[in-house]
Amino acid sequence: MRERGAARELCQGTLQIGVGFYHFERGNYRGGMLCLERGLARLRLVPAGCCAIDVGALLADSELARRRIVALGERWRELDPSWIPTIHAAAP
């Protein structure tokens, strides 16, 4: 709660993306998309190596997952769990 700036955006964006996928797993498309969009918007504000996280990869993987879910259309429940992005350390 005390964190400010880019680190705060990174934490909140990452959490919102995770919560978005939780909503998808629970059958809530609207909630999933809202959280995913909010998380993506926050991650777009974060510099590449913030908090030693590969933010670029996390953002790219999250955007790809969003595009895949949208492409499924009404079959969105068929989303592959392997599309859920993972967090990786930034290169030194």
pLDDT in tens, 6-56: 999 999 999 999 999 999 999 999 999 999 999 999 999 999 889 999 999
Three-state SS at 25: helix
The answer to whether 9 and 15 are in contact (CB under 8 A) is no
Closest CA to 80 of 91, 65, 70: 65
pTM reported for the whole predicted model: 0.90
pLDDT in tens, 44-80: 999 988 999 999 999 999 999 999 999 999 999 999 9
| For the chain, domain boundaries | 5-83
